[in-house]
Each structure stands twice: as structure tokens, then as C-alpha cells.
Amino acid sequence: MSAYPVSLRSVLPVETLDLIFESLSRAELLAALKSNSLFHRVGARVLTVDVVRTIAHNDVYASALTANFLRLLNHALRRLKFLLRLTLELPAPDRTSDTASSFTTSLRCGPTLVRFLEAQNNITDLCLRGINCMDAALLPPTALPRLSYFRTVLSWPGLTANFICGRPVEGVSMSVYPHEMYTALNVLLLSAKPIKRLTIMSFEAAEPISLLSEIAYRLPWLEALHLVVLSTQFYAHDMLLEMGSSLSLFKYLKYLTFIPPNTESSVDDEGVVATTWHKACPTLKTIILPRGMVWALTNGKWVCLDDDTYVISVPPRI
């Protein structure tokens, strides 16, 4: 059934109306928009395209364009509930601005994305949120010469190596899967600079004690470590205490996060864990444990700030 009353239906297809409206002047198009609801919807679409073209070909407007335009486009696309197929033509790499320092995308790491990244000499922070297969397109060694932070959501060791090898990367966020822990961690040694910040999502890759030891063995200079474990295993209080022995290998670690899926530790239990871990790794300044609360070393004591900023002091264990 048509979305318009019989009196407003056109004998011409909507595609034909698009072509007609595209030939109108700006004043004529605005007048057509006010005639009826059918012409308003068709004309508004043509007007939107005209505005985008104006921005794309005018340096004055383009310099003022921010990420808000992409957010508006995303909001508009989400309202198209009956959309079955969508094609977005991106500019060719040689016509793309290369001034961006941070770039986040859900695109698969294929030839199109690689061509785009080849032209980006100023990107320092790159985040790939898409699901990238093992056969991702290779990135030329000369691309992304200033890359400092590389983050992925779901990836493989080969993809991580592709982006950090020979580049001055100091921060990495990646996933680790069973039977790939050693390969994934070895890849981190390919950066031209020591990795100082590391975030890992572990899909039952190994016991946390073993994983921490392997990380420390390769990256003893690490300053910040965030470890999220996706596992069916239950983590008791004693298991958290045992992990402290693996932390003694870190020489510069200041910030530590450990979030397992199953634990019943209390606030007092976490205070004991924070104190024990600090004893094994004296450089620690901030710890986030399974309850999600931030523990900080203040005046020689570990204090916890909950959502109401209430402070709980836990004296060091003798």
C-alpha cells in the first residue's frame, strides 16, 4: 500500500521526480517543498544532497565541518527502518584530508580502508571496531608513520602486527584467543617504541597468573595494563591474591585493571588484594578490581572511592 493518499500520488516514479527536482534552481526547489507532503519528502532529499555537494566543493564550509555531521548522518540512517541496501561512496584517497590525528571506523580492514590510511600521515590514534578476518589487507610500511595508539575490538595477531610493526606505537588494545596467546604477545615487540599502555580482552586464552607473567616477561617497562577476562571460570578471593606473584616482574607499572566475569569479592576483600598486589609491585598507584571501584594509593594507604565518593581506608598488611 502506498504511503501517500491517492490525491498526492504521482504518476511518475519517485526516481523520475528526483531527476526533475535536481534540475530546479534553489528557489524553485524550496517552493516545491511547500506544495505537498510528497514533493516535500522528495525535494528534501534532493536538497540534502545539494547541501552536501556544496560543502564538499567549498573550502570555507569544509573547514568548519566537524564530526557532528557524521553523527547526524548516523542518526538519519538509523531511522530508515525499511532500508535493505545502502551504498556510501567515499572520496578517493588522493582527495581525502590528511589532517586528522584520530580515526575510528567499523569498516573491515580491506583494500578500501588501506588505500585511505595510506594517505593519512598525521594519524596518531587509530581504532578498528569491525570484525577483521585473518586475511586482512596488508598495510604498506610507509603508511601511518606517526601512529602511537592502535586499538581493535576483535582481531588476530597478524592484524596487530600489520599495524604496529616498525611504527612508534606505545599503546595497544587487542583481543587474545585460546592457542594464540604467545603469538599475540610476541607481536607487541614489533613496535619501534616500547609498549607502555596495554589493554587485553582475553577469551579464555590462559589463566590470568600465566597471562600476567607472559606479559611482564615481554613488557617489563609497561606503565598501564587493563585486562578483561571473558571466561566461565569463577575467581575466588584466594585466586586474586595469588596473582600478585606475577606482578613482581613489572618494574614501572602504575595503573592496573583486572575485570573477570565471576567473582563475589567484597570491598574489604578488594582492599586486601590491592595491598597485596602493591607489595608485589611497589610502583602501582591505581588499581581497578572486579567490583569496578577505583583503588588509589594515598598517603601510604589504599583508599577506595565508590559511586558516592565515600572513602574506605585499608592499611597495608604487615
**What's the grid cell of residue 82?**
525499511
With residues binned 3-state (H G I as helix, E B as strand, rest as coil), the percentages for the chain, rounded to 5, are 40, 20, 45
pLDDT tens per residue, range 57-116: 666 665 555 555 666 667 777 777 776 666 565 444 444 456 678 888 877 788 888 888
- Which is nearest to 145 in space by CA: 110, 120, 170? 120
Q: Is there a contact between 23 and 50 (Cβ–Cβ < 8 Å)? A: no
Contact 32, 21 (CB under 8 A): yes
Place of cell 612508534: 168
Q: pTM score, two decimals?
A: 0.69
Model pLDDT for residues 115-151, shown as the tens digit of each residue: 888 888 999 999 988 766 666 778 899 999 999 999 9
The backbone region for 179, taken as left when phi is positive above 0, alpha when psi lies in -120 to 50, beta otherwise, is: left
Query: How far lies 260's CA from each of 187, 218, 236, 264, in Å?
Result: 24, 23, 10, 11
Task: Please report, as a single letter, which amino acid is at residue 105.
Answer: T
Which of 22-26, 45-49, 171-175, 297-301: highest mean pLDDT? 171-175
